[in-house]
């Protein structure tokens, strides 16, 4: 059986859906393929389930650790299995509204279940069916990377796929203890999640700091937060091997062992490009398996495009859901005769949903200097932000990286309450080449966490510990 479409899309995640919707808007037909659950990682195994559970854990933790005098501590009842069921209900409803309904209501968008492989530059085959596309988009996303650890194949372990719904790897029983290997955004989010729900967590990271590539001030703050909540941080620790012991796992380190009931690997992500027929289609990959693209998201084959996690850092992209969705729209438009657009990944805000949140945009101090800028950088503690004091949550810092002389803002990093909301103001300012003076001249609502940006900008010119209210 052969079906022809204007655009064949491998994948059905945020990147794929954005591309399919754009194709339909252009009056073209699009088909997506999916080997697991429609919607891909974000809705099923990543963004949505993790944020749902992280918020539940925050409420559970804050009930036991009230910040205000006059509020007594209270241990809430915890039914872990019911918590997971509630997470699944949110996912199913979101998937129904944002994914299934789009396919059901469109005459131009189709989805086919099964593992698809390209058998030639225009054709994807799955379960005896052949999908032929005038144009092809690779949007198969990524999966948790599993490192080579001696003994691992004999030991049960979890990855971030534990957050999934309606799939066999979902975790429904709360571990009595947990060893997490890794130190990136997934590792720190899950470490805090389980620790706050009452599962003792040991976090094992090979490098001396968590969150490699972030500002050192950010790294120090998040390490203080996690250790302050009881997470056992083993930084600069190399894993020599793992083995089963009774109903638990032993992680052997160079300088000791860690025992836990469960083992969670959070050591990054790898692109889903190893079994989709790229060789048959002639599409080239880099040494890590990511698909190379140009500024239009075109691969080395003129009618084959790629976007989302599968392109990794090519064109300066990031492996993040909103980046994939943004680029999926651009790729489909470029492929199907819409307005020709190039990608610009210069300003990409990101947030890690720990509590307090970590949010960044632009260059770090080190990156700016490495790029040849003559930089001026200032870091301000969040306790100088009036809102933080008013709500009794003064954890965190904000750091602003500016170009010396011009004052152009090159990057902002923040650890603090609502940092994921605040960072969008910084991103918009950077999008329009804003300077520290623009942040200073902007009248901010008082008291808000967004004032942190104004205070950071003012710190280049005055002692911000001696400001009156409203940061003037």
Q: Measuring CA to CA, which residue among 216, 205, 209 is closest to residue 239?
A: 205
pLDDT band at 2 (very low <50, low <70, confident <90, very high): low
Mean pLDDT in residue range 446-467: 96
Return residue ranges of the chain for CATH 3.50.50.60. 2-143+270-335, 146-267
Mean pLDDT in residue range 29-33: 97
Return residue ranges of the chain for CATH 3.30.390.30. 350-471
CATH class of residue range 2-143+270-335: alpha beta
CATH class of residue range 350-471: alpha beta
For residue 167, is pLDDT > 80?
A: no
pLDDT in tens, 329-344: 999 999 999 889 999 9
Please compute, for residue 322, the number of CA atoms within 13 A of its CA located in the half-sphere on the CB side: 6
CATH architecture of the region 146-267: 3-Layer(bba) Sandwich (3.50)
For residue 253, is pLDDT > 70?
A: yes
| Residue 442 DSSP class | S
For residue 1, is pLDDT > 60?
A: no
- Give percent above pLDDT 70 in the chain: 99
**Token pair of 115 as six digits:** 């593992």
Mean pLDDT in residue range 441-460: 97
Residue pair 271/145 in contact (Cβ under 8 Å)? The answer is no
Mean pLDDT in residue range 284-307: 97
Mean pLDDT in residue range 251-262: 96
pLDDT in tens, 58-117: 999 999 999 999 999 999 999 999 999 999 999 999 888 888 888 888 899 999 999 999
User: pTM of the entire structure?
Assistant: 0.95
Per-residue pLDDT, 212:
96
User: How far apart, in whole angstroms, are the C-alpha atoms of residue 23 and residue 336?
Assistant: 7
Per-residue pLDDT, 165:
72
Per-residue pLDDT, 164:
82
Distances (CA, A) of 260 to 69, 78, 150, 245, 251: 37, 21, 17, 9, 8
pLDDT band at 39 (very low <50, low <70, confident <90, very high): confident
Lowest mean per-residue pLDDT among 2-6, 280-284, 384-388: 2-6
Lowest mean per-residue pLDDT among 9-23, 28-42, 289-303, 429-443: 28-42
Per-residue pLDDT, 340:
93
Mean pLDDT in residue range 200-206: 98
| Residue 69 DSSP class | T
Exposure b/e, 13-34, CB count within 10 A at least 16 = b: bbbbbbbbbbbbebebbbbbbb
User: How far apart, in whole angstroms, are the C-alpha atoms of residue 214 and residue 218?
Assistant: 6
The continuous run of DSSP H or E covering 194 comes out as: helix 185-196
Per-residue pLDDT, 43:
85
User: How far apart, in whole angstroms, are the C-alpha atoms of residue 437 and residue 408?
Assistant: 9
Mean pLDDT in residue range 297-305: 98
Per-residue pLDDT, 406:
96
């Amino acid at each position: 059986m052969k079906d022809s479409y204007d655009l064949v899309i491998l994948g059905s995640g945020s990147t794929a859906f954005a591309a399919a919707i754009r194709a339909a808007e252009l009056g073209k037909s699009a088909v997506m393929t999916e080997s697991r659950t429609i919607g891909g990682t974000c809705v099923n195994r990543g963004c949505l389930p993790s944020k749902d559970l992280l918020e539940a854990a925050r409420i559970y933790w804050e009930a036991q650790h009230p910040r205000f005098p006059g509020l007594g501590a209270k241990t809430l009842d915890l039914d872990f299995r019911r918590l997971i069921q509630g997470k699944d209900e949110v996912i199913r409803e979101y998937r129904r509204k944002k994914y299934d309904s789009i396919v059901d209501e469109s005459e131009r968008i189709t989805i086919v279940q099964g593992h698809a492989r390209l058998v030639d530059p225009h054709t994807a085959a799955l379960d005896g069916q052949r999908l032929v596309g005038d144009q092809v988009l690779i949007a198969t996303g990524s999966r948790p990377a599993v490192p080579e650890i001696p003994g691992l194949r004999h030991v049960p372990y979890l990855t971030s796929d534990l957050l999934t719904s309606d799939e066999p790897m979902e975790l429904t029983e709360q571990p009595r203890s947990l060893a997490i290997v890794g130190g990136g955004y997934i590792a720190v989010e899950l470490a805090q999640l389980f620790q706050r729900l009452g599962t003792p967590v040991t976090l094992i990271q090979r490098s001396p700091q968590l969150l490699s590539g972030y500002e050192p001030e950010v790294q120090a703050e998040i390490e203080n937060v996690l250790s302050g909540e009881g997470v056992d941080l083993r930084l600069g620790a190399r894993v020599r091997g793992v083995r089963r012991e009774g109903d638990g796992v032993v992680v052997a380190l160079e300088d000791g062992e860690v025992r836990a009931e469960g083992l969670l690997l959070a050591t990054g992500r790898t692109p889903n490009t190893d079994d989709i027929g790229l060789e048959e289609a002639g599409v080239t990959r880099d040494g890590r398996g990511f698909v190379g693209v140009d500024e239009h998201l075109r691969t080395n084959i003129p009618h084959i495009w790629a976007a989302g996690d599968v392109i990794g850092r090519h064109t300066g992209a990031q492996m993040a859901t909103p980046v994939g969705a943004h680029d999926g729209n651009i790729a489909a438009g470029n492929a199907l005769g819409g307005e020709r657009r190039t990608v610009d990944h210069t300003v990409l805000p990101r947030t890690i949903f720990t509590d307090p949140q970590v949010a960044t945009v632009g260059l770090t101090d080190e990156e700016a200097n490495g790029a040849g800028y003559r930089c001026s950088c200032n870091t301000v503690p969040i306790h100088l932000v009036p809102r933080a004091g008013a709500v009794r949550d003064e954890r965190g810092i904000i750091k602003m990286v500016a170009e010396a002389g011009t004052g152009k803002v090159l990057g902002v990093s923040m650890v603090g309450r609502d940092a994921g909301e605040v960072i969008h103001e910084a991103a918009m300012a950077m999008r329009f080449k804003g300077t520290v003076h623009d942040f200073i001249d902007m009248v901010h609502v008082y008291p808000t966490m967004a004032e942190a940006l104004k205070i950071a900008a003012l710190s280049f010119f005055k002692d911000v510990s001696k400001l009156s209210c409203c940061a003037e």
